[in-house]
């Protein structure tokens, strides 16, 4: 099969190493007969993101969770999403051309935020965090599938996806969840447990089909900040936030069936 009509989107941040990597990658792709483009093409067969994990997340949000699969080249720090190093791009292109890869579905988290006047929908890849603005303590009542679970008081709550379990969730004491499991994890941030508030001290894993309902204890609470993959949103007069696994999915190319375990060991141990 000729590669002459096989368009590949190149999405890069602007740091020096990323720009140099992009130039080299374009040369390698063109030598193999692919058609690399820096102008995003919605009909491309692959998105290659050059940068760190932040650049990877931003590119997915920017292009509105496309069905085109992603793979990343790491020019950042941790690079958990970014499987390829700049030194092995030629090997990657050869293996991609020979279809030596698998495509993994990434499950996303969706929050329906309802205020007194309107509802808004947010979609997250790693996590959606509900916390206080300016480090204020938040008071939240949480239900799982309409069953009351806890009366929370503390810095906030992280609701993470399996793929996001190794990010903010993990650094906050949450568990690592295998990325293909259809679940969400609820992790408390500095929970307070007293006679007035009974907050869970550790994270819990929720089946993906069960909605997580969070209500501010005080009606028209205006000290709540919602952080979606590092992007901050504030809404006045929040009455309820309902979180669940999104119907949307994104797709990631894996060159090795063992890449997840290799990443865990190399990045965290």
For 83-128, the pLDDT digits (tens) are: 799 999 999 999 999 999 999 999 999 999 999 999 999 999 999 9
Report pTM.
Answer: 0.92
User: How far, in Å, are 151, 174, 215, 268 from residue 218 at the CA level?
Assistant: 12, 27, 9, 40
- The pLDDT value recorded for residue 90 is 96
pLDDT of residue 268: 76
- 8-12, 183-187, 216-220: which has the minimum mean pLDDT? 216-220
Extract the tokens encoding 236.
């006045």
Domain limits, CATH 2.60.200.30, in the chain: 109-247
pLDDT in tens, 174-188: 999 999 899 999 999
For 261, residues 6+ apart whose C-beta sits below 8 A from its C-beta are none
pLDDT of residue 134: 84
Query: Where are the CATH 3.40.50.10330 domain residues in the chain?
Result: 7-100
Specify the 3-state DSSP secondary structure of 237.
coil
Residue 217 banded pLDDT, cuts 50, 70, 90: confident
Mean pLDDT of the chain: 92
Active site residues: 53
Pick the CATH number of 109-247 from 3.40.50.620, 3.90.226.10, 1.10.268.10, 2.60.200.30: 2.60.200.30
Q: Residue 258: pLDDT above 90? A: no
Backbone φ and ψ for 103, nearest 5 degrees, come out as: -115, 125
- Listed in sequence order, the DSSP H helices in the chain are 16-31, 53-62, 89-97, 168-171, 259-268
Q: Which CATH superfamily is domain 7-100 in?
A: Probable inorganic polyphosphate/atp-NAD kinase; domain 1 (3.40.50.10330)
C-alpha–C-alpha distance, residues 66 and 251, integer Å: 8
Strand intervals (E) in 162-262: 183-189, 204-207, 212-216, 224-228, 231-233, 238-254
**How far, in Å, CA of 176 to CA of 203, rounded?**
11
């Amino acid at each position: 099969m000729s590669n002459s009509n096989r368009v590949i989107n190149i999405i890069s941040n602007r740091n020096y190493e990323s720009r140099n990597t992009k130039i080299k990658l374009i040369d390698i792709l063109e030598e193999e007969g692919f058609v690399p483009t820096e102008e995003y093409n919605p009909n491309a067969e692959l998105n290659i993101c050059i940068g760190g994990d932040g650049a990877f997340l931003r590119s997915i949000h920017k292009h509105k969770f496309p069905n085109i699969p992603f793979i990343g080249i790491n020019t950042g720090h941790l690079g958990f999403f970014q499987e390829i190093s700049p030194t092995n791009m030629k090997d990657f292109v050869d293996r991609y051309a020979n279809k030596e890869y698998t495509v993994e579905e990434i499950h996303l988290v969706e929050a329906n935020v309802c205020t007194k006047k309107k509802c808004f929908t947010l979609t997250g890849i790693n996590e959606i965090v509900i916390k206080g603005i300016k480090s204020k303590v938040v008071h939240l009542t949480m239900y799982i599938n309409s069953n009351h679970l806890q009366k929370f008081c503390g810095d906030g709550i992280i609701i993470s996806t399996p793929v996001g379990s190794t990010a903010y969730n993990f650094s906050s004491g949450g568990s690592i969840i295998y990325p293909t499991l259809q679940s969400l994890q609820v992790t408390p941030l500095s929970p307070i447990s007293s006679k007035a508030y009974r907050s869970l001290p550790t994270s819990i894993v929720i089946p993906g089909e069960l909605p997580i309902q969070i209500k501010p204890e005080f009606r028209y609470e205006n000290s709540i900040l919602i952080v979606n993959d590092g992007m901050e949103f504030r809404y006045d007069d929040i009455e309820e936030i309902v979180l669940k696994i999104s119907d949307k999915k994104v797709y990631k190319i894996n060159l090795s069936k063992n890449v997840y375990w290799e990443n865990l060991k190399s990045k965290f141990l």
